Amino acid sequence: MNAINAITIALSKGRIFEETLPLLAAAGIVPSENPEQSRKLIIGTNRPDVRVVIVRASDVPTYVQYGAADLGIAGKDVLLEHGGTGLYQPLDLKIAKCRLCVAAPVGFDYAAAVRRGARLRIATKYIQTAREHFAAKGVHVDLIKLYGSMELAPLAGLADAIVDLVSSGGTLKANNLTEVEEIMPISSRLVVNQASLKMKRDLLQPVIDSFAGAVQ
């Protein structure tokens, strides 16, 4: 764990950082730099005892699990894949909202393929969540792990369908794909290191309470 009298918050760049700023402000915390402009990975704040570390979205739970960060903000998608070991998840922050979906090329009859009991090739970054979803539905799948640009997989002949996050559907549409099944709604959660919460409750609880008050 890091310093006993200070707080480290793990955030990812982009929409999570942007949408977290109002929550931090409600807790009286203002980062001194924007990670989009700065290349710094450790960012100070107006409070000498609070710092922000900028990590890959999927690495946020790991930093918090091992106590390298006391708090973090991560999508439910990321938390399900991580498993949540060692993490206290007190709050749905209702930011970075989207949904996890099955998407297939326009014209591919997904429902008919499922009814036939066809074995489907599914490309995704979300192997664990996809495995559970298709197992619960009794759909036979071969899962192919990708790290990004899932939309390309059906177009290039790598997979029949993908499991990916969708918000407007614009990226699917641009690639001639369509949503064929919603798996679950997604939003970002506050995660807290369990040992930190015990040892630094006087520092952490007011931040957690301010976040709770600021969630609409």
Where on the chain is the footprint of ligand ATP (CB under 6 A)? 12, 14-16, 56-58, 75, 77-78, 96-98, 148, 165, 167, 186, 188
Residue 164 pairs in a beta bridge with: 101
CB of 157 to ligand ATP, least distance (A): 23
Indicate the residue among 13 and 47 with the shorter CB distance to ligand ATP: 13
Name the DSSP class of 113: H
CB of 167 to ligand ATP, least distance (A): 3
Indicate the residue among 15 and 121 with the shorter CB distance to ligand ATP: 15
CB of 54 to ligand ATP, least distance (A): 11
Q: How many helices (H) and strands (E) in the chain?
A: 9, 11
Distance CA 193, CA 201 (A): 11
Torsion sign over Cα 13, 32, 51, 203: negative
Q: Which residues of 1-11 are buried (b: 16+ CB within 10 A; e: fewer)?
A: eeeeeebbbbb
Indicate the residue among 102 and 113 with the shorter CB distance to ligand ATP: 102
| 164 φ, ψ (degrees, to nearest 5) | -150, 170
Indicate the residue among 2 and 149 with the shorter CB distance to ligand ATP: 149
Indicate the residue among 140 and 145 with the shorter CB distance to ligand ATP: 145
Distances (CA, A) of 84 to 122, 187, 192: 24, 15, 10
Distance CA 158, CA 181 (A): 20
CB of 138 to ligand ATP, least distance (A): 27
CB of 166 to ligand ATP, least distance (A): 7
